[in-house]
Structure 1
Amino acid sequence: MKFRKTVVTGCSAVLLAGLAAGCSPNASTGSSAGSNGSASKNKDLRVMMVYHPSMEQFKGTDNMNDNKLVKVIREKSGFNVKYESLPKDNPAQKVSIILASGDVPDLMRISGKSDYFKLAQQGAFEPLDDLIKQYIPNSSAMNTAEVLDSTRYGGKIYGLPHRVAQKVGNGILGRSDIIKALGLKDPSTLDEFYTTLKTIKEKKNIAPLTARGANPGSFAQSFEPFAAAFGVGSTTVVKNGKLEFSWVQPEYKEFLETMKKWYDEGLIDQEFSINKDVKDKMINGTAVYSVSSWPDAQTIDRSIKDKNTGGTIQYIAPVTGKNGQSGFMEEAVTGSSYWVIPKQAKNKQGAAEYINYIYGAEADKLLTYGIEGEDYKVENGKAVQTPEQSNAIPWRTLYFLGDSDPSFFARLEAKGFLPYYKPLEPFKRNREETVFAPSVEAYDTKFSELRNFMEENALKFIMNKRNLSEFDKFVQEFNAKGGKAAIDAMNEWYTKKK
């Protein structure tokens, strides 16, 4: 794979199946007692996880409650931890049954922002503010104040987010071998990108830009950096101190007009609206550019190398528009699940101390690499782990309570993802305010329907199935379908937040 050299700034990571973790680069080693309180005398602790496929990857007699890492966790944390799991199907229903029964775990994971806030409103969880201050000092290394504020109900924190450390997801990926063969340079502006696409079309007669439009949400992802060049790449924008949907802005109409022009001139894959995937076209060289994720970039690159045709790929920076706007939407850091202590839990202090231990550096290293000498070795002060060693204990991430930057990078490296992830890090990312909002029912319940309606009409506008002169009518339809009510409800939170 041929990437230009880039300077990696900051720590970032991704929540991907098998790559979940917990963060604490500056945290203490993770003693179970917090700095302001004595250790819990009750050493029995029940922890309830959500189902994950890695639960089925234990070998031999090992299981969720009996394996070499759990033995270390029990020894180092000082707790006799018993792990349980919600079922794969209908976990929310099981949560309701458990909480109603009174026979509750001491710590449990709740999936979904809506369910978390609904249950917090019902008084199902213990407020965590005092417990965090007394027993979870490592929380500050895991969660920013803004992230914790996003979990508040009635001014109190009822759950700690299962942190997502992902900073980057997609980028503009190009077949750099084709670009080089045509004597072209990486475009940096939208106009330069248009000129590059024109040259590719004229000289190669292949799809200069391919995209996905068949699945819900895929249009927005595939065209995000080009919408961002008009300042409307994120879901919402701030205007006059309030949030507005990007999709109803005049700038979004400009974006659609430009994409329609590209489509009319054959610069966009004429099959993009029915594409569910673009990897094959990138691999076969029937398309030159696509907006692709770093895991897909790895697949594309390895498949190209298998063909042994000399093909190469490279990410380019998001192109800038006439006003210097560019970028990708900032990845969510709060995730969609929360660790809570049920109101009826028998060992609330112990649960808090356990959280602090898992957040600590000692547990982070254990759950990242396993046991030194068995699962990894140390060379020049650095842990070294082979892919085989990493793959032998895939279930270790079950025990994390969030996503860890250093830990995740270690697994990225073990799985060969780093060369595809790192080039995306320096690129501009645009903040999406609604990521930090609590559950807003009028917004949350309508979002998918509104996004799908936008994408359906965006495809029509670009492919000449609806005239762009009807954009204002589309805006009226969008608002009538709940768009105005949704954004008004979100602004009730946003205007108070500022």
Structure 2
Amino acid sequence: MLLTFSLVACKDKATVKEDEKDGKTTIRVVYKDEGPSNPVAQAYFSNLEKALKEDEKIDVKFELVEVPQGNYAEKLNLMLFSGDIPDMIYFQGGDQQIAEQDLLEDLTPYIEKSKHIKNILQPYNEKRLNNYPYLLWIKPLDSKTPVVRGDWFNQLSSSKELMENPTIDNYYKFFKELVASAPGGGKPANAVTVAGDITELDFIFEMAFGINQTWLKKEDGTYEYSKASNKEKEKLTFYNKLYNEGLLDPQYLTKQWDTKEKAFYDGETGVIVGTSGKVIDIYNGKMTQVNGEEAELVVLPPAKGESQGFAPTDITKEPRGIAISSQSKHKETVFQILDYLASPKGQMLDRLGFEKEHYNITDGQIELTQKYYNEWYAKFFEPSDFETEKPLKTPLLSEPAMKSQELAKEYYAEDNSFIIPEEYVSKWDAMENLYKEYATDIITGKRPVDDFEKFVKEWNAAGGEELTKYANENIK
């Protein structure tokens, strides 16, 4: 009750903002890393203003809202709960509690009458929107794929066997040789690093251990939570082996995305994991810029065992995306902007960046610059079919990036996870933190592997037994 009251009491703060500037409608936007202190973001939204006016006669002024440094989801929610609610909001977690306060607009009727968005939705987008109609995120499958620099890969005798038969054992052999042979002239110090937890490592190995869904079906037909299963114990035992032998970066817990990437470009680690498509493209551009064309990335397959894949795809909801505030006076205009960004003209800006910076028109063709490959990414949408106004002289994605997308599609599988009911959310958060604590301690050797049985007991006592019952009653 107190939370609801605080939101209502502060709601006027969101409407006090000026709606008109110089005769233009002001659209307030909050978007991680795309705030007013980012000159590229300022240029992007300035160009978008011009394009909207020229192509659609939509006259707006974007006001970018800065979010304080720190955990984006937490800082954003603090801002929203204070009553400062921009028109267009990018979420990267934390959106459910905002939606539960009826502060996010149901996008279903807007999409149904859209000109462009309804035509570029993928089947998994449609399923997610049917389950949770508040976030829009039209991107290729967001599976993460492992990569290694090509010059090192080509020096290793275990590379061929890994590609032909990527078993857990062959991955282990590859990691061992990667460190032992020191193809970097005394480096790398470790075979693989990840950003802060084992999530990225799971994209390589989890399905090989038979963890192919969040809720695993047992022989008796009932379901158990994958992280409390014997298969999880086997996976953590393997990760502990990688850690003990120095193959998994001993500093992985303190790595952030930027320090992880720097270690990769500097040759301090052999393999990192990145989102298929554009992120792999950026990794490849930076790697070849630092270490030469021969270092072009090689995309590695997911490990093969009981199952094979990078990760099952969650279709309960979009894990991140763009929302429209239900408190906004300009909901229709905000959606018109989003629909324009899904159009061929809107995609020219969103996908290609700025002319004479990220691309040039040469002999009637679009020639992408190195800066495009090194840094540009679509701020909003990346539909699978995108035809440019002029022919492309150079491809949108490098070969490794395209390969990563192909593999993501090849190994697509749907998860059976579900949105955690509100009455279980606080328990679920505590249960997940309990898992992270035990998993970290087991991997790093602070606890013996057999302590996994203690974790399962504590997890069940903390709410796992109730939630497992709920899962068995509701998974179809």
Q: Same fold (TM over 0.5)?
A: yes
Give me the whole-angstrom Cα distance separating, in 1, the residues matched to 2:177 and 2:333. Answer: 65
Pairwise mapping of residues 414-429 of structure 1 onto structure 2 (< 5 A)? 418-427=398-407, 428-429=410-411
**SS of residue in 2 equivalent to 1:317:** coil
Of 230, 248, 264, the match for 1:250: 230
Of 144, 153, 159, the match for 1:169: 144
Of 362, 366, 369, the match for 1:386: 369
Gaps of 5+ in 2: 1-22, 69-74, 275-279
**SS of residue in 2 equivalent to 1:457:** helix
Task: Name the CA shift for 1:301/1:451 in 2 (closer, same or farther; >3 Å).
Answer: farther
Superposed displacement of residue 112, structure 1:
5.5
- How many residues are aligned here? 423
**SS of residue in 1 equivalent to 2:308:** coil
Give me the whole-angstrom Cα distance separating, in 1, the residues matched to 2:209 and 2:103. Answer: 45
Of 117, 132, 147, the match for 1:139: 117
Give me the whole-angstrom Cα distance separating, in 2, the residues matched to 1:337 and 1:145. Answer: 16
Contact (CA 8 Å) 1:210, 1:269: kept in 2 or not?
A: yes
Structure 2 residue 318 is matched with structure 1 residue 338: no
TM-score (norm 2): 0.67
Of 341, 362, 374, the match for 2:345: 362
Letter in 1 for 2:367: V
Give me the whole-angstrom Cα distance separating, in 1, the residues matched to 2:234 and 2:138. Answer: 36
Contact (CA 8 Å) 1:409, 1:418: kept in 2 or not?
A: no
Give me the whole-angstrom Cα distance separating, in 1, the residues matched to 2:304 and 2:175. Answer: 15
Structure 2 residue 274 is matched with structure 1 residue 290: no
Contact (CA 8 Å) 1:164, 1:403: kept in 2 or not?
A: yes
Of 309, 314, 327, the match for 2:298: 314
**SS of residue in 2 equivalent to 1:433:** coil
Give me the whole-angstrom Cα distance separating, in 1, the residues matched to 2:440 and 2:298. Answer: 28
The alignment yields a C-alpha RMSD, in angstroms, of: 4.9
Task: Name the CA shift for 1:448/1:404 in 2 (closer, same or farther; >3 Å).
Answer: farther
Structure 2 residue 62 is matched with structure 1 residue 83: yes
Higher relative contact order (Cα pairs below 8 Å, separated by 6+ residues)? 1
Task: Name the CA shift for 1:286/1:73 in 2 (closer, same or farther; >3 Å).
Answer: closer
Q: Which residue of 2 aligns with 1:4?
A: none
TM-score (norm 1): 0.65
Task: Name the CA shift for 1:243/1:443 in 2 (closer, same or farther; >3 Å).
Answer: farther
Letter in 2 for 1:136: S
Give me the whole-angstrom Cα distance separating, in 2, the residues matched to 1:209 and 1:176. Answer: 17
Letter in 1 for 2:366: A
Q: Which residue of 2 aligns with 1:111?
A: 91
Give me the whole-angstrom Cα distance separating, in 2, the residues matched to 1:270 and 1:387. Answer: 31
Give me the whole-angstrom Cα distance separating, in 1, the residues matched to 2:105 and 2:192. Answer: 46
Q: Which residue of 1 aligns with 2:71?
A: none
Output one character per residue of 1:64-83: Cα deviation in whole Å (capped at 9) or x when no partner.
87x45422311321222232
Superposed displacement of residue 171, structure 1:
0.8
Of 86, 92, 108, the match for 2:77: 92
Structure 2 residue 459 is matched with structure 1 residue 478: yes
Pairwise mapping of residues 11-410 of structure 1 onto structure 2 (< 5 A)? 45-51=25-31, 52-53=33-34, 55-58=36-39, 67-89=46-68, 90-96=75-81, 107-109=87-89, 111=91, 114-115=94-95, 117-124=96-103, 127-133=106-112, 135-144=113-122, 146-148=124-126, 150-151=128-129, 159-173=134-148, 177=152, 180=155, 182=157, 185-187=160-162, 188=165, 189-196=167-174, 210-212=191-193, 216=196, 218-232=197-211, 236-237=215-216, 244-260=224-240, 266=245, 268-269=247-248, 271=250, 276=255, 289-293=270-274, 294=280, 295-296=282-283, 299-300=286-287, 302-305=289-292, 314-321=298-305, 323=306, 325-329=307-311, 334-340=318-324, 342=326, 345=329, 348-369=331-352, 376-378=359-361, 382-387=365-370, 400=380, 402-405=381-384
User: Structure 1 vs Structure 2: percent identity of aligned residues?
Assistant: 18
Give me the whole-angstrom Cα distance separating, in 2, the residues matched to 1:431 and 1:353. Answer: 33
| More moved, 228-237 vs 175-184 | 175-184
**SS of residue in 2 equivalent to 1:130:** helix
